[in-house]
Structure 1
Amino acid sequence: MPRVLLIEDEEMLARIVMDSLEMRGFSMSYAPDGETGWTLFREQAPDIIVMDVMMPGMDGFSLTRKIREADKDVPILFLTARSRTADVIQGFELGGNDYLRKPFSMDELIVRIRELLKRAPRPAPAAENAVYQLGRYRFDPVRQRLSLDGEECKLSHRESEILRMLCEQRNEVVERSHMLKSLWGDDSFFNARSMDVFITKLRRYLKEDAAVQIVNVRGVGYKLIS
């Protein structure tokens, strides 16, 4: 029975979500705020987290930062009334896996939860412990650090995921659709635009060594050359 941690400060909405998911076989835990959500996350190790973004005290983005320091794999689905593209990208950048705007249908929420639970892109232990040498750069995907000549840059969760996928198939083309489905769940236009933003950021981080490049193979995907 999948364990879902719901973190939502709107009590009426939380009750509806709880009842609907329990009726469909999910095991539910509920937190009305970010601080309680953090406590339940540490105590219960849920299979997936569904959380509101705008909450008093510790908001959803702040809580996601803490969760990703402890667990970089547990799926996180944001519920939010925010609609700005910048907010959505920030959520993905911090380590969120999906976004559902309020108001939403319960059927859509359940479909998205099931898809995130099915995805499970957990790397093998060897990949978990790998540290990649990229020209003058060293990339540690576990610590989400990219270092150059002793200076470290902290990558976001999403940047680290993309770079790790490229490193695992270095000097080979990684299909764009494969990356989107593995990391975002689908290859929709919006998700593709979001991934382009992260690719641009990674290129900026790697610009100090001309021998390391992320090349766009038009119509197919990306290749990391080093």
Structure 2
Amino acid sequence: MKNKFKILLVEDDSTLGYLLSEYLQIKGFVVTWVQDGKFALNKMESNIYDLVILDVMMPEMDGFTLASKMQNKFSDLPFIFLTAKSLKIDVLKGFSLGAMDYLKKPIDEEELVIRIQKLLSRLRQTNNQVSSGIYNLGRYSFNSLNHTLSYNGQTIHLTSRENEILKFLVRHKNQLCSHKEILLSIWGGNDYFNQKSLNVFITHLRKYLDKDPSLKIKNVHGQGFILKIEDKIP
């Protein structure tokens, strides 16, 4: 790995933190391990990282609180949760805070590495795609410049609204996009009629994407939508 990815591991369990940091370094990552959320924020102030791995249950500042602070100060820094909290409400909260993945303990170290590699590869690909306006979306090719969605030689021409909504979801894929965020970004206003319009366009996009079962636009009741792209872990 020529340009080694830099990872900040925030884990208060000294045994697990040591084992994970050592294992990730063996696998070619540059790892900084800290055991406290406040210290982690200080590290982010003075260093550049490609990914942050957060434990949820930590003293003084839990992982959810740390993630919220990160979104305010380091909104472009991707992070994942690694935690024993596995209730659905905790998973949804993790994604609503912007997490790229939510891994439940105990976890196999090899699976963790595979997920990290897939995530970082996907982020790098997405960054390249954003500059070109062309996105590889599962088995689809989405060209946001000419408003087309292509699958197996067939092309769907999107309306301007459909195009903008899909582009917003793609840029925040696997993250919860709240109704308010989407409406303010695309419509410029958050009201009842815009909400109804958004639901109609989401229905259209679901129909367009239904040929690839690895793609789903999930509805989180009362909150928003997640464009879920399933990675196949070998």
- What is the TM-score when the length of structure 2 is the normalising length? 0.62
- In the alignment, which residue of structure 2 is the partner of 1:80? 83
1:43 correspondence with 2:46: yes
Q: 1:219 aligns with which of 207, 224, 229?
A: 207
Q: Does 1:183 align with 2:170?
A: no
SS at match of 2:24: helix
Let me know the Cα RMSD of the aligned residues.
Answer: 3.6
Q: What pairs up with 1:202-213 in 2 under 5 angstroms?
A: 205-209=190-194, 212-213=197-198
How many equivalent pairs are there?
171
Match of 1:170 among 161, 172, 189: 161
Residue type of the partner of 1:214? N
Residue 135 (structure 1) aligns with: none
Aligned residue number for residue 91 of structure 1: 94
What aligned pairs does 1:135-174 form with structure 2 within 5 A after superposition?
A: 170-172=161-163
- Spell out, residue by residue over 1:164-209, the C-alpha distance to the aligned partner (whole angstroms, 9 max, x if none): xxxx952349779x9579612xxxxxxxxx86x9569968x54254
Give the Cα–Cα distance (whole angstroms) in 2 for the partners of residues 98 and 90 of structure 1.
Answer: 12
**Which runs of no fewer than 5 residues in structure 1 stay unpaired?**
128-167, 185-193
How many Å separate the matches in 1 of 2:181 and 2:7?
33
Q: How much does 1:118 deviate?
A: 1.2
Unaligned runs of 5+ in 2: 134-158, 184-189, 210-216, 218-234
1:138 match: none
Shift of 1:69: 1.1
- Give the % identical residues: 30
TM-score by length of 1: 0.64
Match of 1:23 in 2: 26
- Asked if 1:65 corresponds to 2:68, the answer is yes
CA shift in 2, pair 1:173/1:220, >3 Å: farther
1:106: which partner in 2? Answer: 109
Question: What amino acid sits opposite 1:170 in the alignment?
Answer: R
Structure 1's 79 and 124: CA in aligned 2 closer, same or farther, altered over 3 A? same
